[in-house]
Structure 1
Amino acid sequence: MQLKLENLSKQYNKGEAYALDKVNLDIKEGEFISVLGLSGSGKSTLIRCINRLIDPTDGNIYFEEKEITKLKGEDLRLYRRKIAMIFQQYNLIPRMDVITNVLAGRFGYFSANKIIFKKFKSNEIMEAEAALEKVGLINFTNRQVKTLSGGQQQRVGIARALLQQPKMLLGDEPVSSLDPVTAEEVMKLLWDINKNQGITMVMNLHTVELARAYSKRIIGINKGKIVFDGSPKDLYEIDIKEIYR
């Protein structure tokens, strides 16, 4: 098992309801998983606990059989190299060019000054160009990110994540800011990466149709609890109502 969650819980403030409530989940290497749920259901908390952007209140997280909830310092940095992230609002540097934003994906391997002063080696630039080739933006390397469309910016974000050489790619509503056609294109790109490179995908989505079209497995969360875990073909209307009630 690549990732295992045991009784994972998160409470932000004492006395409040749990954002995650004793979640148990096993994820195999190479799976494409979509996570569905209402806003506030716990989807983002789940993703942020996995990559340790926030600490769980209780429970355990195992990645490749190693418990990671207590990792700190260098050990935590090394773990985060393996878990890349793409965001709803892209999290790019608008005034910098595309290639520099992509090279920021190697932040876990070298210092921030290297990015700020663009002190990159030729092989690092070639790797970034290869990532841009995969997402169809090889002709945009020197363009400022702020001049790109939303779909193009999200592709830059995916290229940045690929340069991290991750074993798992997490997405927190990665297509919710995009129009339907562009959202479909980005999901197809993620599906191709999963199929051709075997990178595990865990994507928070708000669209049932996209989850059905591109996932091998769908997880539904309601009030911090998993209420559905199965294949797209087993997701019926009664399950959708339970996820979104």
Structure 2
Amino acid sequence: MIKKILILSTVLMVAACTPKEDVPDFKAFKDVKEKKAAFFNFMYPAVIAENARVKEERAFIESLVIKNDNDTALSSKELEKATELSKAYKEKLTDEGITAEWLNNMLVKVDYIPAPLVLSQGANESAWGTSRFAREANNYFGQWCYTKGCGVVPSKRNEGAAHEVAKFDSSQEAVHAYFMNVNRNNAYADLRKIRMELHASPQNLTPEQEANVLANGLIRYSERGEAYVEEIQAMIRHNSQYWR
């Protein structure tokens, strides 16, 4: 199984502009509902911000599709931005430049992730913000890094293993890394395929329903496979009161 993977370079621009945040002491909450509400309220703004960023990037890609269909030349600024996005999403431009195939591949990757899915995974992976890695490293999604000193060494890491649990400066940085991981990592190609199929479907699903369907594409997020997916889907359903 492929564990959660992170390339830290993708979050440097977020780290540079993220202010110091006050993180609630989630361990101090005795009431379960209050703890859940506090966790979701804390993480939600970062999810909204990331989906806003993705929406803007997707709108730009869609504008390029129209220009490509009409054989309209791109400006230097448009070419520069397209190149930046190609690097960010690991969708290499060929010598032919911006093609219909490249644009289609980018539209598959540059897309939003419903908040119920992001928040449920964050709650699951961080034990509602109480895990060691959430408290010491602002890591709410169990993401790894592979450069020595890049994060926190797990106490139960297997002998010979080199991974560390990535360290972030804020919840915003962690959520950004999660988005980039899900939207470009080959391990989650199934999720992106499902998402594109939902776009083509006449059904008008709620974010909760979308999250439940997309969770099927996360089978490689954990070594637990299908059991992990079912657990995330159960969390999405059981916390439906918070999605309204």
TM-score by length of 2: 0.28
**Of Structure 1 and Structure 2, which has the larger fraction of its residues in strand?**
1
TM-score by length of 1: 0.28
**Of Structure 1 and Structure 2, which has the larger fraction of its residues in helix?**
2
